Amino acid sequence: MKSTSLLFTILVSCSLLAGCYYDNEEALYPQLNSGCDTTNVTYAGSVVPVLVGSCYSCHSNANAASFGDNIRLESYSDVKSNLTRLYGAITWDPKFTRMPKNSGKLDDCSIRIIEIWMAQGAPNNIVPQGGVR
Ligand code: HEC
C-alpha cells in the first residue's frame, strides 16, 4: 500500500514536471526558435541548401529528366521561373502536386526560409538583405 502511493506520487510529480517543462515556446516549436535562422536568409546560403537536401535528387539538372518530370530547380533562373508552383508544392496547396514526392512535408523552418526569401523579392543573393523576418 505504502509503495503504491509512493509510486503514485512519483508518477504525478513526473507528469507535472514534464508538463511545466514542455509548456514553453522553445520546446513546442524547436525549429522556429533555437535551430531556425530567419535573420540572415539568402538564396545561396539558405534556400539552395533546402533544395539540395530535399529536391536535387529529382530536380537537379542531371536528374530532372529521369526523376523530376523535367522540372529543373538547380539554377537560380529555373528556381525563379518555377517559384509559384514550387511554393504551392512545398506547402501542399491542393492546386499543386505535393513535394517532396513520396516524402513528408518539409520542416517548418525550411518553408519559413523560402517564404522570407520570397517576401524579399526572391533575390539571387549571397549577402542577407534584412528587413523581413
Ligand atoms: C523523388 C523525386 C522527387 C523529389 C525528391 C522531389 N520531386 Fe518535385 N516532382 C517530381 C516528379 C516526378 C514530379 C512530376 C509530378 C509527379 O509525377 O508527381 C514533380 C513535380 C514537381 C513540381 C510541379 C508541381 C505542380 O503541381 O506543378 C514542383 C514545383 C516540384 N516538383 C518541386 C519540388 C521541390 C521544391 C522539391 C523539394 C522540396 C521536390 N520537388 C522534390 C519528383 C520529385
Is the domain of 43 the same as that of 79?
A: yes
| CA 121 to centroid of ligand 1, rounded, Å | 23
Is the domain of 4 the same as that of 56?
A: no
Is the domain of 66 the same as that of 2?
A: no
Is the domain of 22 the same as that of 61?
A: no
Any ligand 1 atom below 6 A from CB of 63? no
Dist. CA 67–CA 59, nearest whole Å? 7
Is the domain of 23 the same as that of 40?
A: no
**Contact yes or no for 112/32 (Cβ under 8 A):** yes
**Dihedral angle, C-alpha 100, 96, 112, 40, nearest 10 °:** 80
The atom of ligand 1 lying closest to the CA of 57 is 5
| CA 23 to centroid of ligand 1, rounded, Å | 37
Q: Mean pLDDT throughout 42-65?
A: 98
Is the domain of 56 the same as that of 108?
A: yes
pLDDT given for residue 35 in this prediction: 78
The atom of ligand 1 lying closest to the CA of 95 is 26
Residue 10 has pLDDT above 90, yes or no: no
Instruction: Scan for cell 529536391, then name that residue.
Output: 55
User: Which residues span the domain enclosing 123?
Assistant: 36-133
| CA 48 to centroid of ligand 1, rounded, Å | 16
Is the domain of 41 the same as that of 94?
A: yes
Is the domain of 24 the same as that of 60?
A: no
Number of domains in the chain: 2
Report the run of H or E that residue 65 belongs to, with start and end. helix 64-67
Is the domain of 3 the same as that of 59?
A: no
Mean pLDDT of the chain: 85
What global pTM score does this model have? 0.80
Is the domain of 25 the same as that of 79?
A: no
pLDDT given for residue 129 in this prediction: 82
Is the domain of 47 the same as that of 91?
A: yes
Rg over alpha carbons for the chain, rounded to the nearest Å, is 21
Any ligand 1 atom below 6 A from CB of 93? no
Q: Mean pLDDT throughout 69-77?
A: 98
For the chain, helix, strand, coil in percent to 5 are: 55, 0, 45
In the chain, pLDDT over 90 holds for what percent of residues?
67
| Burial bucket for residue 14 (CB in 10 Å: 0-12, 13-18, 19+) | exposed
